[in-house]
Copies of this chain bind each other. A is one copy, B any other.
Amino acid sequence: MYKIVQINAGVCAADGFFADGISAGLKPDGAKDMAFVYSDTLCEIASVFTTNKMAAAPIHHFKAKGTFQTNFVLINSKNANAITGDVGVQDINEILATLPQEAINPVMSSTGVIGVRLPKEKIIAGAKHFDFSQKNPHNAAKAIMTTDTFSKEIALRVELADGKSFTLGAMAKGAGMINPAMATMLCFMTTDADVKAQEMQSILNRVTRTTFNAASVDGDTSTNDTVMLLANAKSGAYDATAFEEALHAIMHFLAREMVRDGEGATKLVTYEVTGAKNDTEAEIAAKALSDSLLVKTALYGEDPNWGRIASTIGASGVACAQEKLTISFEDVCVYEQGSIYFDAQQEAKASQIMQRDAFSILCDLGQGNGKFTAFGCDLGHEYVKINADYRT
C-alpha cells in the first residue's frame, strides 16, 4: 500500500536537488534562457533520446561518456547546438570545463534553432552567475522554454506503508515537433528514491511509450529530444510499483501539457483506439489520427467529420473494415458498423463536444483486443504563423 500526493517545488522537490534559471542574453528580450539542475550528491541516470539520425551535439556528448553518474545538467534555450558537427561537441566540452568543481561529470542539453553554433562566451559568462544553493524550479522551467506559452512542472511524493517516502520532481518544455517518436521536448526529472540506473531505465522505457511517445503536435521528430531522470537515493526509500505509477503520472501530465500547449493548438484531443488486431496496430491507427492534417484541421473547425477519421484509419494500413468500425465523440456515436448515424441532431451534439478544450474520440475497429490511446491537438492558423516566422 502506498499513497501518491501532489506537492510543489517542481524539479527541486526531491531531497538534495537544486535548480535555477537566469538570463544570459541568448533570448533578445532579456528573458531567462539558461538553467541548471544540481544534486549535492552523485546520481544514477536513466535517459531517452531522439531517434533522429541528425541528433544534436549534446546527445553525442552524453552518449560518448558511456556509463557514468553525474550531479549536474546545464540547459540552454534559443540554440539547439544541432547539426553543428564536431565543433558543437567541442563547444560543450569548453563550456562545461568552466563550471565549478562541484559539478561532477556535467552534461548539457540545448533547444532552439538548428545549425548555428552556440554563443559560447555568453553561456560561459551566464554560468558564472549560477548559485548552486538555489531552489528556484519556476525560473529553471521558464528558462528552458522556446515557443512554449506556459512552463510545465510537477512534483509527487510517494508515501509508503512503512512510513518512508520518496519524491519525484520534473520540468519539461515542448510545444512543437512533438511526435510519436519523441519530440523537441526536453524533460528533466529528479528523485531521491533509492533506485539503480538499470531498473530505472526499464521503467522509463515502458512509461515513455504510453506518455511522451503517444503525444503528437506535428509529426516531426526533433534533433534534440531528451528525457533525463536523475536519482540521488537520499530518501533511502523505494517501491518499484509505486515508483512506476508516480513516474507515469508525471510523464502523462507533462505529455498532455505539451500537447495542450501545441503550437497554435486550441484543443487537446484523446484518441482511444480499441478493437484493433493487436496493440501495435492500435498504436499505428491512434497515431495516424493524431498526426493527420485533415483530422487536425477538422478539429480546429469543430466539424465532426467522421469520414476523415474513418479514411485516416483506412489509410494507416491496419486491419479494418467499414462494416466493423464504430466512431464516437465522447458518448455520441456518429458511425456504427456500417450505419451512418449522422443526422442534424447527432451533428449538433458532436459539434458541442468539439467546442470543449479537451475531449476524446473513440474508435473501435472490431478486429480484436488491441488498444492504444494517443493524444494530439488541432491545427489552426497560429501553427502556421508560429512556424512560418520561427527564425525571424
B-binding residues in A (CB < 8 A): 51-55, 80, 82-86, 113-117, 176-177, 179, 181, 218-223, 292-294, 297-298, 300-301, 303, 305-308, 310-315, 317-323, 335, 338, 340, 342, 379-381, 383-385, 387-392
Contact = CB atoms under 8 A, between A and B. Distances in A.
Contact of A294 (B298, B380, B387): B387
A112 to B, nearest CB: 10
B52 A311 contact: yes
Given A387-B297, A388-B301, A220 B312 contact: yes
Nearest to A222: B311
Nearest to A321: B53
B293 A220 contact: yes
A83 B311 contact: yes
Given A220-B312, A384-B384, 18 more contacts: A53-B313, A54-B310, A54-B315, A83-B310, A85-B322, A116-B340, A116-B342, A220-B293, A220-B315, A223-B310, A293-B293, A293-B387, A297-B387, A297-B388, A303-B391, A379-B384, A380-B384, A380-B388
Contact of A315 (B221, B294, B385): B221
B383 A322 contact: no
Nearest to A115: B307
Contacts of A220: 292-294, 311-312, 315
B388 A307 contact: no
Contact of A335 (B82, B115, B298): B115
Given A53-B321, A307-B83, A312-B220, A342 B115 contact: yes
A82 B387 CA distance: 34
Nearest to A218: B293
A313 B390 contact: no
A343 B84 CA distance: 14
Given A54-B310, A311-B54, A384-B300, A340 B391 contact: no
A52 B285 CA distance: 13
A293 B313 CA distance: 20
A82 B85 CA distance: 50
Given A85-B322, A342-B115, A218 B54 contact: no
Residue among A54, A82, A318 facing the most chain B CB atoms (10 A cut-off): A54
Contacts of A117: 340
A117 B307 CA distance: 12
A340 B80 CA distance: 14
A80 B322 CA distance: 15
26 contacts: A51-B315, A53-B314, A53-B319, A54-B320, A83-B311, A83-B322, A83-B335, A85-B322, A85-B338, A114-B307, A114-B308, A115-B306, A115-B340, A116-B340, A116-B342, A220-B294, A220-B312, A221-B315, A223-B310, A293-B293, A298-B388, A300-B388, A301-B387, A381-B384, A383-B384, A384-B384
A80 B310 CA distance: 13
Contacts of A323: 85
Contacts of A384: 297, 300, 379-381, 383-384
Contacts of A301: 387-390, 392
